[in-house]
Amino acid sequence: MSKKILIVGGVAGGATAAARIRRLDETAEVIIFERSGFVSYANCGLPYYIGGVISDKEELTLQTPEMFRERFQIDVRVHHEVTAIHPERKTVTVKNLETGETFEESYDKLLLSPGARPVQPNLPGAGLKNLFTLRTVEDTLRIRDYVVKNKPKSAVLAGGGYIGLEVAENLRELGMDVTIVQRPNQLLNPLDYEMACFVHAKMREKGIRLMLGHSVEGFEKAGDQVNVLIKGEQTIKTDMVLLAIGVAPDTHLAKEAGLTLGIKNSIVVNDRMETSAPDIYAVGDAVEVRHFVTGSKALISLAGPANKQGRIAADNICGGNSVYQGSQGSSVIKIFDMTVATTGINERTAKDAGIDCDKVYLSPSNHASYYPGGTMMTMKVLFEKNTYKLLGAQIVGYEGADKRIDVIATAMHAGMTALQLKDLDLAYAPPYSSAKDPVNMAGFMIENIAEGRLKQFFWDEVGALPDDGSVFLLDARTREEYTAGHINGFVNIPLDELRDRLSELPQNVPLYVLCQSGLRSYLACRILSQNGWDCHNFSGGYRLYETIYRDCLAAKQAYPCGMDKK
């Protein structure tokens, strides 16, 4: 006897599950209810249609209802909203949004893929016509239509996450004046603050105004424009506003049906994607998952995990035994010509979870330095002290950043330690990499820590270094680099002169050494350590320090470590 399977919501999770069910069970009756007019679309491509990078709106549609019907014999009903779930009698109530008709549909198995909805702040004036949110294709078409017809010259974005930054880039590329306002003091929450400073610098370089650490208090109509009210700041008058404050699980149906809910009202599922109700599964942005690194409960709104969950749910609906191993949070975003990529957890999350973590920073080139066109990336790799378990990585760079984050993500999933990164046999040719790949280099650095050959200090510890002569601060860069900018208190002795000038260094005090990126200062520390000094290397180097310092100047806030530079 064939099963009747209902799927609530399409896009990544629901559409993937439907196609997988058909591949596994030719006899199943499958119906998808989707309240929008599009069942399977490129959610991550929506900002690029607004900016005209994707010019044909048909390109946003991955599968139409007609394609689902012809290829998979799946009944897709768009503009149909499921308004209630009745687990006790295994039915759902459905409203046809075009006709207003309401009916009940029975099921043997039910899959929920409702996704997440944009957070709508309860602010005065939030209903004005030139205020937008971005979730569906219809939202995208509405924004694009407004941009084309009205040719706005300015926009304010409330929120600095992935969607906010992608829309900001696209609007700026259209020539608009763009301002991002958000309460946290940094963009892109998966990054640690110091890594986000590189993103801030890129956004400002491209002419985007950042108002970080500020709150939007409301909106007022100002003719054809909008006044954006900022707490403690001057009102911003703009042509349009995008609310990209964040998303929340869209789970009112599950709640009303009595399904068990978890953090932020997400749907609790087991590793088979089963909810607390028999024969009801859930996937995607609406479900609570286990974080692969920490094992804790998490909400991770990304297309990759949603697709995997849809496939796993489909397997189990069809009698299989597939399990979801948790979400690692691997992500990548294009910011103008820059690439930002992350996997695992950041340092802030590790500390909140009580994990005793360590880190390395490095600034390698994306390929062999002698091959033309090389670009520098900044990497931060986190690992647990003593066990050397890989916890996460963040990379800000250009070409090759995505490749390195994928290698580290794979190593994490395979259970490799941070020490084993040095052993990876990675492809090399001068246009693509170096004989010592950046991932290998991170492993070498971590091995040096494990072997006691490398002691580090960090950007947020500089201000705590005493100035009473109990330590000596050494800058191992060239005189030209030092003159162009340095940290107060650091004495310049270039690396290549160091062996001949050891007599200038005080005896029996720890030495704290920096260079531009951390490599020359490490070489200096090797010289000094073997001559009897207790030496500490500034991880990330002056390049990282200066990026943070400049960010603080631009934001008109005190430098976090409390030490100035000249």
Q: Bridge-partner residues for 156, per DSSP?
A: 179, 241
Q: In the structure encoding, which two tokens stand for residue 20, read together?
A: 């997988």
Of 515, 500, 509, 497, residue with least CA distance to 534: 509
> Which DSSP category does 496 fall into?
G
Measured between its terminal Cα atoms, the distance across the chain in Å is 79
State yes or no: is 44 an active-site residue: yes
E strand intervals along 97-175: 102-106, 109-112, 116-118, 131-132, 154-158
Q: What's the Rg (C-alpha) of the chain? A: 27
- Residues 145 and 130: their CA atoms lie apart, in Å, by 12
CA 314 to chain centre: 27
Whole-angstrom CA distances from 528 to 120, 449, 492, 535 are 58, 16, 15, 7
Residue 139 gets which letter from DSSP?
Answer: H
Of 221, 215, 265, the closest CA to residue 245 belongs to 215
Two structure tokens written together for 497: 């002169």
Measured CA to CA, the distance from residue 476 to residue 133 in angstroms comes to 50
Question: Number of H helices and number of E strands within the chain?
Answer: 14, 33
Tokens of 108: 């043997």
Given the residues 44, 197, 318, 535, select the one marked as catalytic.
44
Question: Across 201-314, where does the E strand assignment appear?
Answer: 209-212, 216-222, 225-230, 236-238, 240-243, 247-249, 267-268, 280-282, 287-290, 297-298
Rounded CA gap, 58 and 6, in Å? 26
DSSP 3-state assignment of 113? coil
DSSP 412-472: HHTT-BGGGGGG------TTT--SS-HHHHHHHHHHHHHTTS--EE-GGGGGGS--SSSSE
Task: Give the span between the Cα atoms of 318 and 328, in whole angstroms.
Answer: 26
User: String of b and e for 31-58 (b: at least 16 CB within 10 Å)?
Assistant: bbbbbbbbbbbbbebbbbbbbeebeeee
- Tell me how far apart the alpha carbons of residues 51 and 429 are, in angstroms, rounded to a whole number: 36
Catalytic residue set: 44
